[in-house]
């Protein structure tokens, strides 16, 4: 076997977060921005692939939020085939979502309380995911219009009972997080744009709903999933920081997504803790009774051409998958992540911290508030390695 020598000339700190300052920026309110070079766009990688394989493939392209991408991709294919999941399949998908919220956010938010609490939330999230057919990191459960029954575990009742018994202790942990979460006395996280969440036809928050609910200046509007792409434009087309805007009441607005958008009246740390509490409550409701047998959905073939839009309000906020399929092959793909959508809000918070000389501590709080999908957010409080650099360095 031939040997190859690899030269390592750079050590990358996974907990580092680069803030790029550009005093000559056109907008004086946006002189600092977060470097999201570690979050490449994956749209182009999927074009030309078989549409049926895309929701599983995309989980490998984004390893930090694989469940959310899987569900958004399947949501787009649901729309494409014109078949909605039945109650049983929707229940499995909701368990996948809420399990991923505990798995992704729980350990990070609970870390200040100690390792035991962080591990408890992660293990509970893993058990919920296992019950929904995701025993490992990468899911392959949902199908167009349903789920793969074969993916579900044989010990459902045993897992269901273990989860139900663990819920009270988990609620105690998260209620403690909510009580201890700090306020935002200086208004660092204040926001003047629109707040966007996923909702059902009644406007109620629903992480797998078929609408987005846009709220701005006391007004609200429901936009069906199929109409969402026409209501969002990228002001920096194709960039990893596309600076998207949303058309609302005749004007293009900046907007944000995630727990802060769901609970704009709360400091972001409290909103994030509340989202954990919501998922625990939802899991308890979903598991009051044994899981019904879910529908298998339909097979995707070349007759299912057209467009589909999948929406998921994941742990970090709204994820959009928009597919156009021809002859069973993905002809066009647009994916807009929570990281990309919240980047302008993060830039505004970082710029204020820089202008007012608040230092890296305020910048770290800003990064944690916007919660980009990067390893630096896993750093313990106060340990994020914020590096402030000048544009061009």
Structure tokens at 22: 């550009």
Neighbours of 183 (CB within 10 A): 10
Cα–Cα–Cα angle for 157, 295, 150, nearest 5°? 55
Q: Are 30 and 348 in contact (CB under 8 A)?
A: yes
Alpha helices, DSSP H, located in the chain: 43-46, 54-61, 66-81, 87-110, 115-131, 156-180, 228-231, 259-262, 268-286, 338-355, 359-370
Residue 333 annotated as binding site: no
H/E stretch holding 18 = strand 16-21
Q: Are 196 and 264 in contact (CB under 8 A)?
A: no
Residue 65 annotated as binding site: yes
Residue 163 annotated as binding site: no
Structure tokens at 32: 């600092």
Residue 335 annotated as binding site: yes
CA–CA separation, 224 vs 211, rounded Å? 4
Of 19, 278, 89, 76, the C-alpha closest to 174 is 278
Question: Which three-class secondary structure state does DSSP give residue 382?
Answer: coil
Neighbours of 96 (CB within 10 A): 25
Neighbours of 297 (CB within 10 A): 23
> For the chain, how far is it from start to end, CA to CA, in angstroms?
42
Per the annotation, binding residues for Ni(2+) are 65, 373
Per the annotation, binding residues for Fe cation are 65, 376
Per the annotation, binding residues for Mg(2+) are 62, 335
Per the annotation, binding residues are 62, 65, 335, 373, 376
């Amino acid at each position: 076997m031939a040997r190859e020598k690899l030269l390592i000339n750079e050590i990358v700190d996974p907990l580092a977060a680069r803030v790029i300052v550009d005093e000559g920026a056109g907008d004086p309110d946006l002189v600092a921005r977060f470097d999201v070079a570690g979050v490449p766009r994956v749209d182009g990688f999927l074009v030309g692939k078989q549409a049926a394989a895309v929701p599983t493939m995309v989980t490998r392209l984004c390893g930090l939020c694989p469940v959310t991408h899987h569900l958004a991709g399947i949501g787009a294919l649901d729309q494409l085939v014109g078949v909605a999941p039945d109650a049983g399949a929707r229940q499995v998908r909701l368990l996948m979502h809420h399990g991923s919220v505990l798995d992704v956010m729980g350990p990070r938010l609970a870390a200040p309380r100690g390792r035991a609490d962080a591990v408890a939330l992660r293990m509970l999230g893993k058990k919920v995911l296992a019950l929904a057919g995701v025993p490992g990191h990468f899911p392959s459960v949902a199908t167009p219009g349903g789920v793969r029954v074969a993916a579900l575990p044989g010990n459902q009742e045993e897992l269901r009972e273990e989860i139900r018994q663990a819920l009270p202790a988990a609620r105690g942990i998260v209620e403690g997080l909510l009580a201890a979460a700090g306020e935002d006395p200086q208004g660092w996280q204040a926001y003047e744009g629109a707040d966007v969440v996923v909702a059902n036809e009644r406007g109620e928050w629903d992480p797998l709903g078929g609408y987005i609910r846009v709220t701005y200046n006391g007004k609200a509007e429901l936009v069906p999933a199929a109409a969402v792409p026409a209501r969002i434009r990228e002001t920096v087309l194709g960039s990893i920081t596309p600076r998207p805007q949303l058309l609302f009441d005749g004007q293009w607005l900046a907007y944000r997504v995630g727990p802060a958008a769901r609970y704009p009246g709360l400091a972001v740390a409290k909103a994030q803790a509340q989202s954990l509490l919501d998922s625990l409550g939802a899991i308890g409701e979903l598991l009051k009774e044994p899981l019904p047998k879910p529908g298998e959905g339909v097979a995707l073939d070349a007759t299912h051409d057209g467009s589909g839009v999948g929406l998921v309000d994941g742990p970090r906020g709204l994820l959009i998958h928009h597919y156009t399929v021809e002859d069973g092959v993905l002809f066009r793909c647009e994916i807009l992540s929570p990281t990309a959508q919240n980047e302008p809000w993060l830039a505004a918070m970082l710029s204020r911290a820089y202008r007012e000389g608040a230092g890296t501590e305020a910048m770290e709080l800003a990064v944690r508030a916007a919660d980009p999908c990067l390893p630096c957010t896993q750093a313990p409080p106060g340990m994020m390695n914020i590096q402030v650099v000048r544009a061009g360095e």
